[in-house]
Amino acid sequence: MYQGLHGGFSGRVQMGQRAVIYCRVSTADQSCVRQKDELKRFAERAGYEVSGIFMETGSGVRVDRAERRKVMALAQAREIDAILVTELSRWGRSTIDLISTLQELESYRVSLIAITGMTFDLATPHGRMLATVLAGIAEFERDLISERVKSGLAAARARGKVLGRQKGERPKSDRLAPKVLALVAEKRSYRWIARDLGISKNTVAAIVQRER
């Protein structure tokens, strides 16, 4: 069940529900302290048993968010029941990423609870409607990105620029290879790795194949 709470929590959860706190700030001159304190107070009022606090610094679009990966690993292992964040923007890198991780957490039966913002409870018709709307927005976002990329490529070709990677060049693949291999060693699925690092499953498989 996904649940986001607007203006506070209306009731107590079942006692003993295990939760972790996840905080993120965008720059090094910011602090996670306010988020952490708010979430600790919320957890106490709601009756959650906090089993860990994860904090990191990184922009919303940054791919490598090690602390979030640790939280997802706990969810996959069924070691927690909920993830507590102050806002959904602290968790998701984009609408597409938010929907993807919500779907993954649903399969683990782990809730993502934001103490401010929109309400997500996929156990209710209202929550399912919101999820459908967001899925549509995510698809629209993908289409816009694709359109901008195609437009940019066409403009570059018109200027006579040679596009595409030269034979034998794999800059992004080679740069991400150590991370891919580390995650494979942690028994992550190719699909999970591809989604987390923003690459295709075929790229993950190719990196692994080259190292064997």
Cα–chain center distance at 123: 21
The two tokens of residue 172 are 């992004």
Question: Long-range contacts of range 62-71, CB-CB < 8 Å, 24 or more positions apart?
Answer: 62/93, 63/93, 63/196, 63/197, 63/198, 64/179, 64/197, 65/24, 65/93, 67/22, 67/24, 68/22, 68/24, 69/196, 71/20, 71/22
**Active-site residue among 10, 26, 59, 146?**
26
Has 51 been annotated as catalytic? Answer: no
The two tokens of residue 50 are 């906090």
Residues annotated as catalytic (active site), given as ranges: 26
